[in-house]
Structure 1
Protein backbone atom coordinates (compact mmCIF):
# COMPACT_ATOMS: atom_id res chain seq x y z
CA UNK A 1 0.00 0.00 0.00
CA UNK A 2 2.79 2.42 0.89
CA UNK A 3 4.57 1.66 -2.38
CA UNK A 4 1.35 2.22 -4.33
CA UNK A 5 0.83 5.55 -2.58
CA UNK A 6 4.37 6.59 -3.51
CA UNK A 7 3.88 5.54 -7.15
CA UNK A 8 0.77 7.75 -7.29
CA UNK A 9 2.21 10.77 -5.47
CA UNK A 10 5.77 10.96 -6.82
CA UNK A 11 4.87 11.88 -10.45
CA UNK A 12 2.62 14.68 -9.16
CA UNK A 13 5.45 16.00 -6.99
CA UNK A 14 7.92 15.84 -9.88
CA UNK A 15 5.65 17.63 -12.34
CA UNK A 16 4.90 20.27 -9.69
CA UNK A 17 8.62 20.77 -9.12
CA UNK A 18 9.32 21.70 -12.75
CA UNK A 19 6.82 24.56 -12.66
CA UNK A 20 8.21 28.12 -12.43
CA UNK A 21 8.53 29.53 -8.92
CA UNK A 22 5.94 32.21 -9.76
CA UNK A 23 3.34 29.48 -10.37
CA UNK A 24 4.36 27.60 -7.24
CA UNK A 25 3.83 30.69 -5.12
CA UNK A 26 0.34 31.11 -6.55
CA UNK A 27 -0.32 27.52 -5.46
CA UNK A 28 1.20 28.35 -2.08
CA UNK A 29 -1.20 31.25 -1.60
CA UNK A 30 -4.13 28.94 -2.35
CA UNK A 31 -2.76 26.34 0.07
CA UNK A 32 -2.50 29.02 2.76
CA UNK A 33 -6.21 29.77 2.45
CA UNK A 34 -6.96 26.06 2.84
CA UNK A 35 -4.58 25.30 5.71
CA UNK A 36 -5.32 28.41 7.78
CA UNK A 37 -8.87 29.45 6.98
CA UNK A 38 -10.56 26.19 5.92
CA UNK A 39 -8.89 23.16 7.52
CA UNK A 40 -7.00 24.88 10.34
CA UNK A 41 -4.01 22.54 10.09
CA UNK A 42 -2.50 22.20 13.61
CA UNK A 43 -3.99 25.57 14.46
CA UNK A 44 -4.47 24.66 18.12
CA UNK A 45 -0.81 23.63 18.42
CA UNK A 46 0.41 26.81 16.69
CA UNK A 47 -1.62 29.17 18.87
CA UNK A 48 -0.71 27.29 22.07
CA UNK A 49 2.98 27.52 21.16
CA UNK A 50 2.72 31.23 20.38
CA UNK A 51 0.94 31.90 23.67
CA UNK A 52 3.67 30.05 25.56
CA UNK A 53 6.51 31.79 23.73
CA UNK A 54 4.97 35.27 23.64
CA UNK A 55 2.72 35.60 26.72
CA UNK A 56 3.02 39.39 26.72
CA UNK A 57 1.76 39.80 23.16
CA UNK A 58 -1.91 40.43 22.49
CA UNK A 59 -4.15 37.87 20.81
CA UNK A 60 -4.19 40.06 17.71
CA UNK A 61 -0.38 40.15 17.61
CA UNK A 62 -0.16 36.37 17.95
CA UNK A 63 -2.77 35.94 15.22
CA UNK A 64 -0.66 38.11 12.93
CA UNK A 65 2.40 35.94 13.62
CA UNK A 66 0.33 32.79 13.02
CA UNK A 67 -0.87 34.02 9.63
CA UNK A 68 2.70 34.88 8.67
CA UNK A 69 3.81 31.43 9.77
CA UNK A 70 1.18 29.63 7.70
CA UNK A 71 2.11 31.67 4.63
CA UNK A 72 5.76 30.82 5.16
CA UNK A 73 4.98 27.15 5.82
CA UNK A 74 3.07 26.87 2.53
CA UNK A 75 5.98 28.55 0.70
CA UNK A 76 8.35 26.09 2.38
CA UNK A 77 6.28 23.12 1.23
CA UNK A 78 6.51 24.20 -2.41
CA UNK A 79 10.16 25.20 -2.08
CA UNK A 80 10.87 21.69 -0.78
CA UNK A 81 9.01 20.16 -3.73
CA UNK A 82 11.00 22.44 -6.04
CA UNK A 83 14.15 20.92 -4.53
CA UNK A 84 13.51 17.82 -6.63
CA UNK A 85 14.53 19.59 -9.83
CA UNK A 86 15.86 23.07 -8.98
CA UNK A 87 19.16 23.83 -10.68
CA UNK A 88 22.34 24.70 -8.82
CA UNK A 89 22.43 28.08 -10.54
CA UNK A 90 18.88 28.92 -9.48
CA UNK A 91 19.30 27.89 -5.86
CA UNK A 92 22.58 29.82 -5.60
CA UNK A 93 20.63 32.95 -6.52
CA UNK A 94 17.92 32.22 -3.99
CA UNK A 95 20.04 30.95 -1.09
CA UNK A 96 23.20 32.98 -0.57
CA UNK A 97 25.85 32.56 2.11
CA UNK A 98 27.48 35.68 3.51
CA UNK A 99 30.79 34.41 4.93
CA UNK A 100 31.68 31.17 3.16
CA UNK A 101 35.35 32.10 3.61
CA UNK A 102 35.08 30.98 7.24
CA UNK A 103 34.71 27.37 6.04
CA UNK A 104 37.80 27.72 3.87
CA UNK A 105 39.80 28.97 6.86
CA UNK A 106 38.66 26.06 9.03
CA UNK A 107 39.36 23.57 6.23
CA UNK A 108 42.90 24.89 5.83
CA UNK A 109 43.35 24.38 9.58
CA UNK A 110 42.10 20.78 9.27
CA UNK A 111 39.06 21.56 11.42
CA UNK A 112 35.94 19.47 10.98
CA UNK A 113 32.63 21.18 11.74
CA UNK A 114 29.28 20.39 13.30
CA UNK A 115 26.80 22.90 11.93
CA UNK A 116 23.96 23.58 14.38
CA UNK A 117 20.70 24.73 12.85
CA UNK A 118 17.08 25.21 13.86
CA UNK A 119 13.75 24.74 12.11
CA UNK A 120 13.87 28.31 10.95
CA UNK A 121 13.68 29.84 7.47
CA UNK A 122 14.33 27.21 4.81
CA UNK A 123 16.47 24.36 6.08
CA UNK A 124 15.78 22.23 3.00
CA UNK A 125 17.78 24.52 0.70
CA UNK A 126 20.76 24.56 3.06
CA UNK A 127 22.31 21.68 1.15
CA UNK A 128 23.69 24.09 -1.45
CA UNK A 129 26.51 24.78 1.02
CA UNK A 130 28.05 21.50 -0.16
CA UNK A 131 28.79 23.12 -3.52
CA UNK A 132 30.66 25.98 -1.84
CA UNK A 133 33.09 24.14 0.44
CA UNK A 134 35.94 21.66 0.44
CA UNK A 135 34.76 19.70 3.48
CA UNK A 136 33.13 16.31 2.99
CA UNK A 137 29.47 17.08 3.67
CA UNK A 138 27.03 15.12 5.82
CA UNK A 139 23.49 15.78 7.00
CA UNK A 140 21.83 13.97 9.88
CA UNK A 141 18.21 12.85 9.61
CA UNK A 142 15.69 10.59 11.30
CA UNK A 143 14.61 7.82 8.91
CA UNK A 144 10.94 7.59 7.94
CA UNK A 145 8.92 4.40 8.36
CA UNK A 146 7.83 4.52 4.73
CA UNK A 147 10.86 3.29 2.77
CA UNK A 148 9.83 4.97 -0.48
CA UNK A 149 9.32 8.39 1.07
CA UNK A 150 12.45 7.90 3.17
CA UNK A 151 14.34 7.41 -0.10
CA UNK A 152 12.72 10.56 -1.52
CA UNK A 153 13.82 12.65 1.48
CA UNK A 154 17.40 11.39 1.10
CA UNK A 155 17.29 12.11 -2.63
CA UNK A 156 16.19 15.71 -2.08
CA UNK A 157 18.68 16.41 0.70
CA UNK A 158 21.64 14.84 -1.10
CA UNK A 159 21.14 16.54 -4.49
CA UNK A 160 24.02 18.96 -3.98
CA UNK A 161 26.56 16.53 -2.60
CA UNK A 162 25.79 15.80 1.05
CA UNK A 163 25.78 12.26 2.38
CA UNK A 164 22.59 11.67 4.37
CA UNK A 165 23.20 9.66 7.55
CA UNK A 166 20.64 8.32 10.08
CA UNK A 167 20.90 9.89 13.51
CA UNK A 168 21.71 6.49 15.03
CA UNK A 169 24.79 6.03 12.84
CA UNK A 170 26.33 9.49 12.64
CA UNK A 171 28.83 9.00 15.50
CA UNK A 172 30.32 5.87 13.93
CA UNK A 173 30.45 7.46 10.48
CA UNK A 174 32.19 10.65 11.64
CA UNK A 175 34.59 8.71 13.85
CA UNK A 176 35.64 6.62 10.84
CA UNK A 177 36.22 9.70 8.68
CA UNK A 178 38.19 11.33 11.49
CA UNK A 179 40.47 8.27 11.67
CA UNK A 180 40.95 8.56 7.91
CA UNK A 181 41.88 12.26 8.44
CA UNK A 182 39.04 13.45 6.21
CA UNK A 183 37.81 16.93 7.11
CA UNK A 184 34.02 16.98 7.38
CA UNK A 185 31.08 19.33 7.87
CA UNK A 186 27.91 17.84 9.34
CA UNK A 187 24.56 19.64 9.31
CA UNK A 188 22.36 18.88 12.35
CA UNK A 189 18.94 20.30 13.21
CA UNK A 190 19.63 20.78 16.89
CA UNK A 191 16.30 22.07 18.20
CA UNK A 192 14.66 18.64 18.13
CA UNK A 193 12.44 17.54 21.01
CA UNK A 194 14.04 14.57 22.82
CA UNK A 195 11.89 11.74 24.12
CA UNK A 196 10.90 12.23 27.76
CA UNK A 197 12.85 9.10 28.70
CA UNK A 198 15.95 9.95 26.67
CA UNK A 199 17.29 13.37 27.64
CA UNK A 200 20.09 14.49 29.93
CA UNK A 201 19.44 18.18 30.43
CA UNK A 202 16.79 20.88 30.51
CA UNK A 203 17.09 24.52 29.51
CA UNK A 204 14.78 27.50 29.05
CA UNK A 205 13.82 27.92 25.41
CA UNK A 206 11.76 31.04 24.70
CA UNK A 207 11.35 31.33 28.47
CA UNK A 208 9.94 27.81 28.85
CA UNK A 209 11.80 25.04 30.65
CA UNK A 210 12.05 22.00 28.36
CA UNK A 211 14.24 18.95 27.75
CA UNK A 212 16.88 19.84 25.16
CA UNK A 213 18.82 17.88 22.59
CA UNK A 214 22.48 17.85 23.66
CA UNK A 215 23.79 15.33 21.13
CA UNK A 216 25.44 17.91 18.88
CA UNK A 217 27.48 19.35 21.74
CA UNK A 218 28.41 15.89 23.02
CA UNK A 219 29.52 14.78 19.55
CA UNK A 220 31.66 17.91 19.20
CA UNK A 221 33.35 17.19 22.53
CA UNK A 222 33.93 13.55 21.63
CA UNK A 223 35.48 14.23 18.22
CA UNK A 224 36.95 17.69 18.91
CA UNK A 225 35.01 19.37 16.09
CA UNK A 226 34.36 23.08 15.71
CA UNK A 227 30.78 24.18 16.39
CA UNK A 228 29.05 26.75 14.18
CA UNK A 229 25.49 28.06 14.09
CA UNK A 230 23.86 28.35 10.68
CA UNK A 231 21.83 31.55 10.79
CA UNK A 232 19.31 31.48 7.94
CA UNK A 233 17.27 34.64 7.30
CA UNK A 234 14.37 35.13 4.91
CA UNK A 235 15.13 38.18 2.77
CA UNK A 236 11.87 38.08 0.84
CA UNK A 237 9.58 35.46 -0.64
CA UNK A 238 11.74 32.75 -2.17
CA UNK A 239 15.07 34.31 -1.15
CA UNK A 240 17.27 33.56 1.86
CA UNK A 241 20.68 34.50 3.16
CA UNK A 242 22.74 32.50 5.61
CA UNK A 243 25.65 33.31 7.90
CA UNK A 244 28.01 31.04 9.82
CA UNK A 245 28.15 32.15 13.45
CA UNK A 246 30.98 30.74 15.63
CA UNK A 247 29.79 28.84 18.69
CA UNK A 248 32.98 27.14 19.86
CA UNK A 249 36.40 26.51 18.33
CA UNK A 250 37.43 24.05 21.06
CA UNK A 251 34.27 22.48 22.54
CA UNK A 252 36.30 19.90 24.51
CA UNK A 253 37.43 22.75 26.75
CA UNK A 254 33.92 24.10 27.36
CA UNK A 255 31.74 23.24 30.33
CA UNK A 256 28.85 20.86 29.75
CA UNK A 257 25.80 22.41 28.08
CA UNK A 258 27.48 25.76 27.51
CA UNK A 259 27.26 25.40 23.74
CA UNK A 260 23.72 24.04 23.79
CA UNK A 261 22.79 27.23 25.66
CA UNK A 262 24.61 29.37 23.10
CA UNK A 263 22.77 27.64 20.28
CA UNK A 264 19.40 28.24 21.96
CA UNK A 265 20.26 31.91 22.56
CA UNK A 266 21.14 32.39 18.89
CA UNK A 267 17.97 30.69 17.71
CA UNK A 268 15.81 32.59 20.21
CA UNK A 269 17.22 35.90 18.97
CA UNK A 270 16.15 35.06 15.43
CA UNK A 271 12.70 33.92 16.52
CA UNK A 272 12.10 37.09 18.52
CA UNK A 273 13.19 39.26 15.61
CA UNK A 274 11.09 37.50 12.93
CA UNK A 275 8.85 34.95 14.68
CA UNK A 276 6.80 33.93 11.63
CA UNK A 277 9.65 31.91 10.13
CA UNK A 278 9.97 29.36 12.95
CA UNK A 279 8.21 25.98 12.79
CA UNK A 280 5.37 26.70 15.23
CA UNK A 281 3.42 23.58 14.20
CA UNK A 282 6.11 21.45 15.87
CA UNK A 283 5.24 20.39 19.44
CA UNK A 284 8.48 21.78 20.82
CA UNK A 285 7.17 22.51 24.32
CA UNK A 286 5.05 19.40 24.96
CA UNK A 287 7.39 18.19 27.75
CA UNK A 288 7.74 21.55 29.46
CA UNK A 289 8.33 21.82 33.18
CA UNK A 290 5.42 22.40 35.48
Structure 2
Protein backbone atom coordinates (compact mmCIF):
# COMPACT_ATOMS: atom_id res chain seq x y z
CA UNK A 1 0.00 0.00 0.00
CA UNK A 2 2.86 2.40 0.76
CA UNK A 3 4.28 1.94 -2.73
CA UNK A 4 0.87 2.41 -4.35
CA UNK A 5 0.32 5.62 -2.36
CA UNK A 6 3.73 6.87 -3.45
CA UNK A 7 3.11 6.02 -7.12
CA UNK A 8 -0.25 7.79 -7.07
CA UNK A 9 0.76 10.89 -5.12
CA UNK A 10 4.28 11.61 -6.33
CA UNK A 11 3.32 12.71 -9.88
CA UNK A 12 0.95 15.34 -8.45
CA UNK A 13 3.65 16.62 -6.11
CA UNK A 14 6.12 16.83 -8.99
CA UNK A 15 3.64 18.74 -11.16
CA UNK A 16 3.03 21.21 -8.33
CA UNK A 17 6.78 21.60 -7.81
CA UNK A 18 7.42 22.75 -11.39
CA UNK A 19 4.85 25.55 -11.17
CA UNK A 20 6.32 29.06 -11.25
CA UNK A 21 6.12 30.75 -7.86
CA UNK A 22 3.35 33.10 -9.02
CA UNK A 23 1.07 30.12 -9.74
CA UNK A 24 2.31 28.26 -6.68
CA UNK A 25 1.06 31.04 -4.41
CA UNK A 26 -2.27 31.24 -6.21
CA UNK A 27 -2.61 27.55 -5.39
CA UNK A 28 -1.63 28.34 -1.80
CA UNK A 29 -4.37 30.98 -1.58
CA UNK A 30 -6.91 28.42 -2.75
CA UNK A 31 -5.55 25.85 -0.28
CA UNK A 32 -5.95 28.43 2.52
CA UNK A 33 -9.69 28.66 1.85
CA UNK A 34 -10.09 24.91 2.17
CA UNK A 35 -7.64 24.35 5.03
CA UNK A 36 -8.83 27.22 7.24
CA UNK A 37 -12.25 28.39 6.08
CA UNK A 38 -13.89 25.12 5.03
CA UNK A 39 -12.21 22.22 6.84
CA UNK A 40 -10.76 24.16 9.78
CA UNK A 41 -7.66 21.97 9.95
CA UNK A 42 -6.60 21.74 13.61
CA UNK A 43 -8.45 24.92 14.54
CA UNK A 44 -9.32 23.19 17.83
CA UNK A 45 -5.59 23.20 18.57
CA UNK A 46 -4.55 26.49 16.98
CA UNK A 47 -7.15 28.80 18.56
CA UNK A 48 -6.77 27.41 22.13
CA UNK A 49 -2.96 27.60 21.79
CA UNK A 50 -3.16 31.27 20.82
CA UNK A 51 -5.61 32.07 23.62
CA UNK A 52 -3.41 30.24 26.11
CA UNK A 53 -0.19 32.14 25.34
CA UNK A 54 -1.86 35.48 24.56
CA UNK A 55 -4.56 35.82 27.26
CA UNK A 56 -4.41 39.60 26.92
CA UNK A 57 -5.47 39.59 23.26
CA UNK A 58 -9.05 40.03 22.12
CA UNK A 59 -10.99 37.44 20.13
CA UNK A 60 -10.55 39.58 17.03
CA UNK A 61 -6.78 39.73 17.50
CA UNK A 62 -6.58 35.96 18.04
CA UNK A 63 -8.53 35.25 14.86
CA UNK A 64 -6.36 37.70 12.91
CA UNK A 65 -3.18 35.87 13.99
CA UNK A 66 -4.81 32.53 13.19
CA UNK A 67 -5.81 33.66 9.71
CA UNK A 68 -2.30 34.95 8.94
CA UNK A 69 -0.83 31.73 10.35
CA UNK A 70 -2.91 29.53 8.04
CA UNK A 71 -1.86 31.63 5.04
CA UNK A 72 1.77 31.08 6.03
CA UNK A 73 1.21 27.37 6.71
CA UNK A 74 -0.18 26.83 3.21
CA UNK A 75 2.77 28.74 1.74
CA UNK A 76 5.21 26.54 3.68
CA UNK A 77 3.55 23.34 2.49
CA UNK A 78 3.74 24.45 -1.14
CA UNK A 79 7.32 25.70 -0.69
CA UNK A 80 8.24 22.31 0.74
CA UNK A 81 6.83 20.61 -2.35
CA UNK A 82 8.73 23.10 -4.51
CA UNK A 83 11.93 21.68 -2.99
CA UNK A 84 11.55 18.71 -5.35
CA UNK A 85 12.64 20.72 -8.38
CA UNK A 86 13.76 24.18 -7.24
CA UNK A 87 17.12 25.21 -8.64
CA UNK A 88 20.11 26.00 -6.48
CA UNK A 89 20.22 29.52 -7.91
CA UNK A 90 16.58 30.17 -7.01
CA UNK A 91 17.00 28.72 -3.55
CA UNK A 92 20.03 30.88 -2.81
CA UNK A 93 18.02 33.94 -3.83
CA UNK A 94 15.09 33.09 -1.58
CA UNK A 95 16.80 31.77 1.55
CA UNK A 96 19.63 34.15 2.41
CA UNK A 97 22.05 33.98 5.34
CA UNK A 98 23.11 37.42 6.58
CA UNK A 99 26.20 36.37 8.54
CA UNK A 100 27.55 33.08 7.19
CA UNK A 101 30.99 34.24 8.35
CA UNK A 102 29.99 33.20 11.88
CA UNK A 103 30.04 29.56 10.76
CA UNK A 104 33.25 30.12 8.81
CA UNK A 105 34.91 31.38 12.00
CA UNK A 106 33.81 28.26 13.88
CA UNK A 107 35.18 26.09 11.07
CA UNK A 108 38.57 27.81 11.43
CA UNK A 109 38.46 27.03 15.15
CA UNK A 110 37.83 23.36 14.29
CA UNK A 111 34.48 23.40 16.09
CA UNK A 112 31.55 21.24 15.09
CA UNK A 113 28.18 22.90 15.60
CA UNK A 114 24.79 22.12 17.08
CA UNK A 115 22.41 24.36 15.13
CA UNK A 116 19.22 24.94 17.14
CA UNK A 117 16.01 26.25 15.63
CA UNK A 118 12.26 26.22 16.22
CA UNK A 119 9.18 25.62 14.11
CA UNK A 120 9.23 29.26 13.15
CA UNK A 121 9.29 31.10 9.84
CA UNK A 122 10.70 28.49 7.50
CA UNK A 123 13.12 25.66 8.07
CA UNK A 124 12.47 23.60 4.91
CA UNK A 125 15.11 25.35 2.80
CA UNK A 126 17.89 25.42 5.41
CA UNK A 127 19.72 22.64 3.54
CA UNK A 128 20.97 25.20 0.98
CA UNK A 129 23.30 26.35 3.75
CA UNK A 130 25.65 23.49 2.83
CA UNK A 131 26.61 25.31 -0.37
CA UNK A 132 28.39 27.98 1.70
CA UNK A 133 30.28 25.86 4.24
CA UNK A 134 32.55 22.81 4.41
CA UNK A 135 30.79 21.11 7.30
CA UNK A 136 29.14 17.76 6.73
CA UNK A 137 25.49 18.40 7.50
CA UNK A 138 23.15 16.27 9.60
CA UNK A 139 19.55 17.04 10.48
CA UNK A 140 17.74 15.21 13.25
CA UNK A 141 14.28 14.18 12.09
CA UNK A 142 11.40 11.83 12.72
CA UNK A 143 11.23 9.08 10.12
CA UNK A 144 8.15 9.22 7.85
CA UNK A 145 5.71 6.33 8.06
CA UNK A 146 5.80 5.79 4.29
CA UNK A 147 9.30 4.51 3.55
CA UNK A 148 9.17 5.66 -0.09
CA UNK A 149 8.40 9.27 0.81
CA UNK A 150 11.00 8.99 3.56
CA UNK A 151 13.62 8.05 0.96
CA UNK A 152 12.45 10.93 -1.25
CA UNK A 153 12.93 13.50 1.52
CA UNK A 154 16.38 12.10 2.28
CA UNK A 155 17.33 12.24 -1.41
CA UNK A 156 16.31 15.90 -1.70
CA UNK A 157 18.43 16.85 1.31
CA UNK A 158 21.38 14.74 0.19
CA UNK A 159 21.70 16.80 -3.02
CA UNK A 160 23.17 19.52 -0.84
CA UNK A 161 25.27 17.28 1.41
CA UNK A 162 22.76 17.18 4.25
CA UNK A 163 21.85 13.81 5.74
CA UNK A 164 18.79 13.02 7.82
CA UNK A 165 19.25 10.89 10.91
CA UNK A 166 16.86 9.93 13.69
CA UNK A 167 17.30 10.75 17.38
CA UNK A 168 18.40 7.16 18.00
CA UNK A 169 21.07 7.38 15.28
CA UNK A 170 22.37 10.81 16.32
CA UNK A 171 24.76 9.93 19.15
CA UNK A 172 26.53 7.04 17.42
CA UNK A 173 26.68 8.86 14.08
CA UNK A 174 28.21 12.01 15.54
CA UNK A 175 30.64 10.16 17.81
CA UNK A 176 31.85 8.24 14.77
CA UNK A 177 32.22 11.50 12.81
CA UNK A 178 34.22 13.06 15.63
CA UNK A 179 36.51 10.02 15.83
CA UNK A 180 37.15 10.41 12.09
CA UNK A 181 38.03 14.07 12.59
CA UNK A 182 35.04 15.29 10.57
CA UNK A 183 33.51 18.69 11.26
CA UNK A 184 29.73 18.46 11.35
CA UNK A 185 26.85 20.91 11.39
CA UNK A 186 23.90 19.30 13.16
CA UNK A 187 20.41 20.72 12.92
CA UNK A 188 17.94 20.28 15.78
CA UNK A 189 14.37 21.59 15.77
CA UNK A 190 14.27 21.76 19.55
CA UNK A 191 10.89 23.23 20.48
CA UNK A 192 8.87 20.02 20.17
CA UNK A 193 6.97 18.58 23.10
CA UNK A 194 8.66 15.48 24.56
CA UNK A 195 6.67 12.82 26.36
CA UNK A 196 5.92 14.10 29.84
CA UNK A 197 7.05 10.95 31.66
CA UNK A 198 10.39 10.93 29.83
CA UNK A 199 11.24 14.62 30.25
CA UNK A 200 14.35 15.47 32.27
CA UNK A 201 13.55 19.15 32.46
CA UNK A 202 10.51 21.44 32.71
CA UNK A 203 10.45 25.22 32.47
CA UNK A 204 8.31 28.05 31.17
CA UNK A 205 7.77 28.56 27.45
CA UNK A 206 5.60 31.57 26.63
CA UNK A 207 4.77 31.79 30.33
CA UNK A 208 3.56 28.19 30.68
CA UNK A 209 5.54 25.41 32.31
CA UNK A 210 6.10 22.50 29.93
CA UNK A 211 8.59 19.65 29.38
CA UNK A 212 11.53 20.61 27.17
CA UNK A 213 13.73 18.69 24.79
CA UNK A 214 17.30 18.81 26.05
CA UNK A 215 18.95 16.47 23.54
CA UNK A 216 20.75 19.24 21.64
CA UNK A 217 22.32 20.60 24.80
CA UNK A 218 23.30 17.17 26.10
CA UNK A 219 24.92 16.22 22.80
CA UNK A 220 26.76 19.56 22.56
CA UNK A 221 28.28 18.99 25.99
CA UNK A 222 29.12 15.36 25.34
CA UNK A 223 30.96 16.14 22.09
CA UNK A 224 32.11 19.69 22.97
CA UNK A 225 30.30 21.32 20.07
CA UNK A 226 29.54 25.01 19.66
CA UNK A 227 25.82 25.86 19.95
CA UNK A 228 24.32 28.27 17.44
CA UNK A 229 20.75 29.53 17.16
CA UNK A 230 19.37 30.47 13.79
CA UNK A 231 16.74 33.16 13.54
CA UNK A 232 14.49 33.25 10.47
CA UNK A 233 12.71 36.37 9.30
CA UNK A 234 10.18 36.30 6.47
CA UNK A 235 10.99 39.36 4.35
CA UNK A 236 8.15 38.87 1.90
CA UNK A 237 6.27 35.97 0.41
CA UNK A 238 8.72 33.25 -0.54
CA UNK A 239 11.78 35.13 0.72
CA UNK A 240 13.50 34.48 4.03
CA UNK A 241 16.50 35.93 5.82
CA UNK A 242 18.57 33.77 8.14
CA UNK A 243 20.72 35.15 10.96
CA UNK A 244 23.03 33.08 13.17
CA UNK A 245 23.53 33.81 16.86
CA UNK A 246 26.20 32.00 18.87
CA UNK A 247 24.86 30.73 22.18
CA UNK A 248 28.24 29.33 23.22
CA UNK A 249 31.46 27.89 21.84
CA UNK A 250 32.12 26.10 25.15
CA UNK A 251 28.92 24.36 26.28
CA UNK A 252 30.46 22.68 29.32
CA UNK A 253 30.95 26.09 30.92
CA UNK A 254 27.16 26.32 31.33
CA UNK A 255 24.99 24.82 34.05
CA UNK A 256 22.67 21.98 33.11
CA UNK A 257 19.76 23.18 30.96
CA UNK A 258 20.98 26.78 30.87
CA UNK A 259 21.61 26.48 27.12
CA UNK A 260 18.11 25.08 26.65
CA UNK A 261 16.66 28.06 28.54
CA UNK A 262 18.60 30.52 26.36
CA UNK A 263 17.28 28.80 23.25
CA UNK A 264 13.65 29.02 24.36
CA UNK A 265 14.02 32.70 25.26
CA UNK A 266 15.23 33.38 21.73
CA UNK A 267 12.27 31.48 20.30
CA UNK A 268 9.90 33.52 22.47
CA UNK A 269 11.42 36.74 21.09
CA UNK A 270 10.59 35.61 17.56
CA UNK A 271 7.05 34.63 18.45
CA UNK A 272 6.34 37.92 20.20
CA UNK A 273 7.67 39.87 17.20
CA UNK A 274 5.47 38.07 14.65
CA UNK A 275 3.33 35.25 16.12
CA UNK A 276 1.75 34.29 12.79
CA UNK A 277 4.94 32.53 11.71
CA UNK A 278 5.05 29.99 14.56
CA UNK A 279 3.66 26.48 14.00
CA UNK A 280 0.53 26.69 16.16
CA UNK A 281 -0.86 23.35 14.94
CA UNK A 282 1.49 21.52 17.31
CA UNK A 283 0.12 20.60 20.74
CA UNK A 284 3.12 22.22 22.38
CA UNK A 285 1.43 22.92 25.71
CA UNK A 286 -0.55 19.68 26.06
CA UNK A 287 1.37 18.56 29.19
CA UNK A 288 1.03 21.83 31.10
CA UNK A 289 -1.19 20.25 33.76
CA UNK A 290 1.20 17.33 34.41
CA UNK A 291 4.12 19.21 35.94
CA UNK A 292 6.01 16.87 38.35
CA UNK A 293 6.23 18.20 41.93
CA UNK A 294 9.99 18.77 41.73
CA UNK A 295 9.48 21.19 38.82
CA UNK A 296 6.52 23.08 40.26
1:283 corresponds in structure 2 to 283
1:204 aligns to what SS in structure 2? strand
Query: Within the alignment, does 1:94 sit opposite 2:98 as a pair?
Result: no
Shift of 1:139: 0.9
2:215 and 2:194 mapped to 1: Cα distance?
10
2:252 aligns to what SS in structure 1? helix
Counterpart mapping for 1:236-275 below 5 A: 236-275=236-275
2:294 corresponds in structure 1 to none
2:192 aligns to what SS in structure 1? coil
1:122 and 1:93 mapped to 2: Cα distance?
15
1:136 corresponds in structure 2 to 136
Q: Compute the TM-score of the two structures, normalised by the length of structure 2.
A: 0.96
2:218 corresponds in structure 1 to 218
Query: Within the alignment, does 1:25 sit opposite 2:64 as a pair?
Result: no
Query: Within the alignment, does 1:2 sit opposite 2:11 as a pair?
Result: no
**Residue pair 1:208, 1:289 contacting (<8 A) in 2 also:** no
**Runs (5+) with no aligned partner, structure 2:** 291-296
2:235 and 2:8 mapped to 1: Cα distance?
35
Counterpart mapping for 1:98-117 below 5 A: 98-117=98-117
**Residue pair 1:175, 1:223 contacting (<8 A) in 2 also:** yes
1:112 and 1:274 mapped to 2: Cα distance?
31
1:169 aligns to what SS in structure 2? helix
1:154 and 1:286 mapped to 2: Cα distance?
30
Q: Compute the TM-score of the two structures, normalised by the length of structure 1.
A: 0.98
1:180 corresponds in structure 2 to 180
1:124 and 1:207 mapped to 2: Cα distance?
28
1:171 and 1:252 mapped to 2: Cα distance?
17
Shift of 1:172: 0.6
2:42 and 2:154 mapped to 1: Cα distance?
26
2:280 and 2:157 mapped to 1: Cα distance?
22
2:281 and 2:148 mapped to 1: Cα distance?
25
| Number of matched pairs | 290
1:271 and 1:229 mapped to 2: Cα distance?
15
